[in-house]
């Protein structure tokens, strides 16, 4: 082997979408628009909930999901957009680890927040008279705090085990951001422990939260089918449909990415799947959870009306 092949790598090159140079301008415009809409939509939702007291209900405490969507976009998209017109597309080892840390934090917290929202919908539909008792402010704060703590711990575990690896030879990451699996493929030492940590911790996070979601929705479906009122069934289905759609896309893409057999060795399917859970889902969050919600729309109209009155 040559000396170059044996040299230790302390920086990487993100190949991203370099295989399609003729599309770089179009892709830059599309992803820039997605990033702008994602940030405006999610941060706008956070500000709206903060300003409007009528939205300070247990259900809307889980709008921390909007913060995590913004965190995920900020960690990934700016560097991706820069690389469309960069000559070297380099990223240092520590920048790479930081990017993965914030991405892992956001995705893990999302898993727990989506599970908490599923439980919230279960209580609202199956035990409506006890909703404010069961979904107390204290419980909601505990759930959201737990989601952020779990996200931090999960991120630190994987980043800590990544630092035990040595990266030598090829420094090309066949991805548009520093994800865990592409980094494992570049290691020149055994990654068995890292793969085991992915299986144990990522698998535990996804399976445990999916279990909460599935059980909650089974109870919801049973309750809906026992309702005598068609109007009540329609309202209940409308309340859950958007959340269930988002959960299906989010968990489906994560399970396919990290839990499928040979996921560490096969890299050709990474980018299309990663686009869904890093770019598309954060973009859809404000539309799925808020713009279809009458309370949020009325709150937005109220703020706009107040501004018009002040201007007049």
Q: Is 189 inside a domain boundary?
A: yes
What is the pLDDT at residue 265? 55
| 11-14 and 172-173 beta bridge pairing | parallel
Q: Name the nearest CA neighbour of 14 among 118, 90, 114, 95.
A: 90
Global pTM reads: 0.86
Rounded to 5 degrees, what are φ and ψ at 13?
A: -120, 125
What is the pLDDT at residue 303? 65
What is the pLDDT at residue 304? 63
Domain count across the chain: 1
**Strand runs (DSSP E) across 74-142, as ranges?**
90-92
In this structure, what token pair is assigned to residue 73? 């976009």
| pLDDT-flagged residues of the chain (< 70) | 1-8, 53-62, 169, 239, 242, 257-269, 289-297, 299-312
Q: Tell me if 45 sits within 8 A of 283, measured CB to CB.
A: no
Q: Is 105 inside a domain boundary?
A: yes
What is the pLDDT at residue 263? 54
Q: Tell me if 288 sits within 8 A of 246, measured CB to CB.
A: yes
Q: Is 126 inside a domain boundary?
A: yes
Q: Is 5 inside a domain boundary?
A: no
Helices (runs of H) and strands (runs of E) counted in the chain: 14, 3
What is the pLDDT at residue 13? 92
d(CA 263, CA 308): 54
What is the pLDDT at residue 274? 83
Determine the structural domain holding residue 83 and report its residue range.
12-289
Which CATH number covers residue 114?
1.20.1070.10
Q: Tell me if 10 sits within 8 A of 56, measured CB to CB.
A: no
Q: Is 249 inside a domain boundary?
A: yes
Q: Is 3 inside a domain boundary?
A: no
What is the pLDDT at residue 2? 43
Q: Is 294 inside a domain boundary?
A: no
Q: Is 224 inside a domain boundary?
A: yes
Would the CA dihedral through 94, 159, 117, 221 be positive or negative? positive
What is the pLDDT at residue 292? 57
């Amino acid at each position: 082997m040559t000396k170059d092949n044996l040299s230790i790598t302390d920086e990487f090159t993100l190949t991203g979408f370099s295989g399609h140079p003729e599309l770089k301008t179009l892709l830059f415009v599309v992803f820039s628009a997605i990033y702008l809409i994602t940030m405006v939509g999610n941060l706008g939702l956070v500000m709206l909930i903060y300003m409007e007291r009528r939205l300070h209900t247990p259900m809307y405490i889980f709008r921390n999901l909007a913060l995590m969507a913004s965190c995920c976009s900020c960690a990934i998209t700016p560097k991706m957009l820069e690389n469309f017109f960069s000559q070297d597309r380099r990223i240092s080892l520590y920048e790479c680890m930081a990017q993965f840390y914030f991405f892992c934090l956001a995705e893990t917290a999302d898993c727990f927040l989506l599970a908490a929202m599923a439980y919230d919908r279960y209580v609202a539909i199956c035990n409506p008279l006890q909703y404010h008792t069961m979904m107390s402010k204290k419980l909601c704060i505990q759930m959201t705090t737990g989601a952020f703590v779990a996200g931090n711990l999960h991120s630190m575990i994987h980043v800590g085990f990544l630092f035990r690896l040595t990266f030598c030879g090829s420094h090309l990451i066949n991805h548009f951001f520093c994800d865990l699996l592409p980094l494992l493929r570049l290691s020149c030492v055994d990654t068995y422990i890292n793969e085991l940590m992915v299986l144990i911790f990522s698998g535990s996070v996804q399976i445990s939260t999916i279990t909460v979601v599935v059980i909650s929705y089974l109870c919801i479906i049973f309750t809906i089918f026992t309702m005598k009122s068609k109007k009540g069934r329609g309202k209940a289905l409308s309340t859950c449909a958007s959340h269930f759609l988002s959960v299906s896309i989010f968990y489906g893409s994560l399970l396919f990415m990290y839990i499928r057999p040979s996921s560490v060795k096969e890299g050709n399917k990474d980018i299309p799947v990663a686009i869904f859970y890093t770019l598309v889902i954060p973009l859809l969050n404000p539309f799925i959870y808020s713009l279809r919600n009458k309370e949020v729309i009325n709150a937005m109209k109220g703020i706009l009306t107040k501004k018009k009155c002040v201007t007049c």
